[in-house]
């Protein structure tokens, strides 16, 4: 698709022709769903987002408004081979020509759209500021409708009597970082927590999703 746009359909370089370019080439493409056209985009300041080099994800420090769009361009190297997604402003594409980027968040949010899978639904802000490992305790509780109590396991089904902290993948190690669950949250910077921003990272893309089916 990218190669076709930049060769046979290079009218995409004109922002006024973007919609016309998409129409005949890929019928059914809709602006706001499959692509966005931004005439006044800006590059984020590094202070506006968190980039995890170990796990390879970007997390914004503040939430986007419904009408705001997020797109990226990046490159990475695997076994000496360089792969690039999107275009950089240093690639020789001069203004006012358009840049083609990878869309992460458009103006239309729906679980039915491909971009939904790119959203970080496993990072939760505790709203508490910076986290201190020494004083930090985390539990995952289930509200049992039968008893009205909050318990740390699901009492029935395939997950019966298994600690939810372990079911959620948040307790795999002991305090010495040996692979032995000990009933406590694994406080691992950049993997399960972003401590300076007060955020918890679940290892499942949708932590309260299908893997909890009973």
Of 15-19, 22-26, 160-164, least confident by mean pLDDT is 22-26
What backbone torsions phi and psi does residue 213 show, to the nearest 5 degrees?
-60, 135
Residue 18 and residue 70: Cα distance in Å, rounded?
A: 18
Of 23, 30, 27, which Cα lies nearest the Cα of 112? 30
Of 20-34, 66-80, 92-106, least confident by mean pLDDT is 20-34
Encoded tokens for 180: 């032995």
DSSP sequence for the chain: -HHHHHTTTGGGGSGGGHHHHHHHHSTT--BTTTB---SS--PPPGGGEEEETTTTEEEESSPPPTT--EEE-EEEEETTEEEEES--TTSS--TTSPPP-EEEE-S---TTSGGGGGS-TTEEE-SSSS--GGG------EE-TTT--EESBBSSGGGBT-BHHHHTT-----TT--S---SS----BTTTEEGGGTEEE-SSSSTTSGGG--
Does 212 score more than 90 pLDDT?
no
pLDDT at 53: 82
pLDDT at 214: 61
CB 196 within 8 A of CB 205: no
Its pTM surpasses 0.95: no
pLDDT at 27: 64
Does 103 score more than 90 pLDDT?
yes
pLDDT band (50, 70, 90) for residue 111: confident
Write out pLDDT tens, residues 32-57.
Answer: 888 899 988 889 999 999 888 877 88
Percent with pLDDT over 70 in the chain: 98
**Long-range contacts of the stretch 33-37 (C-beta < 8 A, 24+):** 33/106, 33/108, 33/113, 35/103, 35/106, 36/69, 36/71, 36/103, 36/106, 36/107
Encoded tokens for 173: 């190690």
């Amino acid at each position: 698709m990218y190669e076709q746009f930049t060769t046979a359909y290079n009218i995409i370089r004109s922002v006024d022709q973007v919609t016309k370019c998409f129409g005949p080439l890929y019928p059914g493409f809709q602006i706001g769903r499959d692509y966005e056209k931004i005439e006044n985009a800006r590059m984020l300041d590094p202070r506006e987002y968190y980039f995890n080099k170990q796990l390879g994800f970007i997390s914004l420090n503040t939430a986007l408004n419904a009408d705001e769009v997020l797109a990226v361009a990046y490159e990475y190297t695997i076994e000496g081979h360089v792969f690039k997604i999107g275009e950089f402003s240093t690639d020789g594409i001069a203004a006012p020509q358009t840049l083609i980027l990878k869309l992460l968040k458009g103006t239309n949010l729906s679980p039915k759209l491909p971009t939904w899978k790119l959203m970080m639904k496993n990072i939760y802000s505790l709203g508490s500021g910076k986290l201190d490992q020494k004083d930090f305790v985390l539990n995952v509780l289930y509200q049992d409708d039968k008893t009205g109590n909050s318990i740390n396991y699901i009492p029935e089904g395939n997950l019966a009597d298994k600690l939810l902290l372990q079911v959620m993948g948040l307790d795999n190690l002991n305090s010495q970082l040996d692979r032995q669950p000990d009933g406590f949250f694994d406080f691992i910077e950049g993997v399960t927590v972003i401590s300076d921003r007060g955020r918890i990272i679940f290892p499942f893309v949708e932590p309260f999703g299908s893997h909890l089916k009973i």
